[in-house]
Amino acid sequence: MGNSANLSPLKNLRADVPAAVVVALVAMPLCLGVALASGAPLISGLIAGVVGGLLVPLFSRSHLAVSGPTPAIVATVLVAMQVLPSFSAFLLAVVIAGGIQIVLGIVRAGVVAYFFPSAVIQGILSAIGIIIILKQFPYAIGFDLGEFGGQDFISAHGENTFSGVIAALTHLEWGALLISVLTLSILITWDKVAVLRKQTWLSGPLMAVVFGTLLNALLLYAVPELAVSGQNLVNLPIIHSFADLRGMLQMPDWGMIGSKSVWVTAVALTFIASLESLLSIEAADKLDTYKRRTPLDRELLGQGIANIASGLIGGLPVAAVIVRSTANVAAGARTKASAFLHGLFLLFAVLFLATLMNRIPLAALASILIFVGFKLAHPSIFKRMFRLDKSQYLPFVITIVAILLSSLITGVVVGLLAGVFFVLKANYHSAIEIGREGSAYKIALNREVTFVNKARLSHILERLP
pLDDT digits (tens, 9 = 90+) for 73-111: 877 887 888 889 999 999 999 999 999 999 999 999 888
What mean pLDDT value characterizes the chain? 85
pLDDT band at 1 (very low <50, low <70, confident <90, very high): very low
pLDDT of residue 443: 73
| CA of residue 292 relative to chain centroid, distance | 19
Taking the C-alpha atoms of residue 369 and residue 136, their distance in angstroms, rounded to an integer, is 7
Which has more confidence, 6 or 288?
288
Do the beta carbons of residue 347 and residue 239 sit within 8 Å? Answer: no
For range 422-430, the mean pLDDT:
70
pLDDT of residue 66: 96
Judged on CB neighbours under 10 Å (0-12, 13-18, 19+), 374 is middle
Q: Evaluate if residue 259 carries a pLDDT over 90.
A: yes
3-state secondary structure of 39: coil
pLDDT of residue 32: 83
Q: What is the dihedral of CA 85, 254, 80, 121, to 10 degrees?
A: 170
For range 431-442, the mean pLDDT:
71
pLDDT band at 163 (very low <50, low <70, confident <90, very high): confident
Which has more confidence, 40 or 203?
40
pLDDT of residue 239: 84
Nearest to 337 by CA among 30, 18, 1: 18
> What angle, 0 to 180 degrees and rounded to 10, lies between the N-to-C axes of helices 390-405 and 379-386?
140
Buried b or exposed e, range 105-128, using 16+ CB within 10 angstroms: beeebbeebeebbebbbbbbbbbb
For range 169-183, the mean pLDDT:
91
Do the beta carbons of residue 73 and residue 67 sit within 8 Å? Answer: no
For range 404-424, the mean pLDDT:
83
Which has more confidence, 450 or 203?
203
Instruction: Give φ, ψ of 64 to 5 degrees.
Output: -125, -15
For range 266-292, the mean pLDDT:
89
pLDDT of residue 277: 92
pLDDT of residue 147: 56
For range 126-131, the mean pLDDT:
86
Do the beta carbons of residue 97 and residue 296 sit within 8 Å? Answer: no
